[in-house]
Structure 1
Amino acid sequence: MQPVSISDKDELLALTDDDAFVRYDVRLLPEYTPLRVGSAVAFVRLPMMQRPPNLTVIGPDADVEALLRWYAETGLPEAVRGISVEQAHEELLRRHLEVSAGGDWDWMWTTAEPATVPEERVLIELDDARDARDIVRLNEIGSPTAESLPGTGITEHWVGAREAGVLIAAAAVHRTSGGAQHLTGIVVHPDHRGRRLGLAMTAALTRRAVQMDGVSTLGMYSHNDRARALYEHLGYRTAHAWASRRLA
């Protein structure tokens, strides 16, 4: 089945029933035309972390498979280096395209302001440049895969906590390509876990984002049930559970 072109983001939103991920995370790139087959859509987006363009495919099983088959037969856009599908569609992806390693992650969002957490009283604002070395050191100890990129100017806002001058917690806000605030790099030093500092930082940044923009977004590794429980407690909902894979 030959795909049909999608004219703009408004049409893409209409086709996806105003999907939260599409609305808040996606900025369509003019050099790549979004496509649809039936009720499935495919579009190229710029992921976070300065990663190369990624093809995302959303929709019902049969229509998603038709799009993947079409890309397998005609070729992917040249600059695309990865593909994201719902985790339930990974088998369809591997059936039609050669992909390698990647990650399973959930994209979440909320439009509700969370209640204040008492532990927020210990939080301080951090500076992306001045505190970068301390944040890097904390990330190395507490979460080597943290994606906050301190000192690069990408982070819009930082909060954290110090004890006896030592940074023991930090969390960042970036912007999605769609313009929404996106929480990332939420890290607590292993020696200070259990003090609800992660909850406090997430609540504070979420409230700030919702007050400013009406929405807060984040991504999490799908296997992290503890983080999921925390985010759901603060009002976050999962829009998509992604299987993101690099092209082989």
Structure 2
Amino acid sequence: MNDQKPSKNSKPTDLRNIIALIITLAVITITIIVAICTLTLPEKPDFDFIGQSLLPLWGTWLGTVLAFYFGKANFDSVAKTYENVINNLSSEEKMEKIPVDDVMTPINNITHIDYDETQLNRTILEILNDKLFSGYNRFVFLEKNNIFKYVIHRSTFTNFIADKLRDETIDVKKLTLKNFIDEKDKNEYIKDMLDNSYNFVALNDNLLDAKNAMKSLKNCEDVFVTKTGRGTDPVLGLITNNIIIKFSKI
């Protein structure tokens, strides 16, 4: 049993063939009529009029119609082929074609804290309740000239506070950023979040490079973009795990 179905493009193709045939027959017929008239009529037709007016008109009309139908067919064919190629690309192949600076959050749009030593004295609750970060889950700390210092997620702060609530001798309202940073020496989770929850890529890298940089570290959810990909350079942009997830979908 033949399971093949007729092509959806068969009718348009047949129509173009019919139109092309009609045009060809019309031109041949008119040419024959002109030739017969030229040979049989006692008064010869005005060849200048035919050569200078009618023939160019027929040629223009014929070329325009054929170009419209067959040119459109070629364009549709190329467009369909391109669409098929794009659809058949894997998500990683698509990501490889996307420059990081096309999808990153640029530095001017990164809500961050200008870090200096005085920030260490801020309480964690003060940072968490900062209206500037209302609705944000990550706190980015940048030093002078936008040099990266820390990125700390809201959940990491709250987990730290929850852990300290178990100790009745500690007033969690007074816990500072310095207390949190110092905890890395005795808390592997906080150490890992402070040292390995971020990575860097260069400005000329693509989104797949950013994805691989994120995958290379277990708890990495943020990739910062600098000119050379080094953390000692000024931050130019940020690619979060949400951006990676969005473009990872096929």
Answer whether TM exceeds 0.5 for this pair. Answer: no
Name the structure with the higher strand share: 1
**What is the TM-score of this pair, normalised by structure 2?**
0.23
The structure number with the bigger radius of gyration is: 2
- Larger % of helix: which? 2
Structure ranking higher on relative contact order (CA contacts 8 Å, 6+ apart) = 1
